[in-house]
Amino acid sequence: MTRLLLLNGPNLNLLGTREPGIYGAQTLEGIERRAVQLASEQGFELVCFQSNAEHELIARIQQAPAQSVGVLIFNPGAFTHTSIALRDAVLAVHVPMIEVHLSNPQAREEFRRRSYFSDIAIGVISGFGALGYELAVRAACGHLAAGDPARQRARASS
């Protein structure tokens, strides 16, 4: 069965208490619970993983094809602006990726304006807080359904 993988990078485990004026009041646990529920309503399993360590995120990305991950939803946190290694991991596995940010990095400090992921993502969602994850799950499910002949037939006949 095709799965979705929701990956969150450094400091996102602190959501809820971390700079709530920028990142909102929702915890990562709450965001993940909602994402799992939304995906399951659309008929997909969603697996969540957060790490503060670049090598652990790379390992999860490398495992994605063997774990039947069809779309990766990724908030790389500060690694967005620094990590060629994570970019290379995404490129290596050929799993479509949606980049998510709670804040809008383009409207913040200069050093946040460069992303190593935006040009290799199928889409980028930023600036909508926790809602961005819900939008990403919907987009990911739509992307998977569009590539699934059985679902295409079901849609065409409804």
- Positions in the binding site for ligand DQA (CB under 6 A): 11, 75, 77-78, 80, 101-103, 105, 112
Nearest to 122, CA basis, from 90, 149, 152, 154:
90
Q: Which of 33, 25, 41 is nearest to 6 (CA)?
A: 33
Distance CA 117, CA 91 (A): 10
Q: Is 133 a catalytic residue?
A: no
For the chain, the residue count is: 158
Nearer to ligand DQA, 60 or 101 (CB): 101
For residue 11, the minimal CB distance to ligand DQA (Å) is: 5
State the catalytic residue, choosing from 55, 101, 116, 143. Answer: 101
3-state secondary structure of 92: helix
| Residue with smaller CB distance to ligand DQA, 97 or 144 | 97
Q: Give yes or no: 101 in active site.
A: yes
Q: Which residues are catalytic?
A: 23, 101
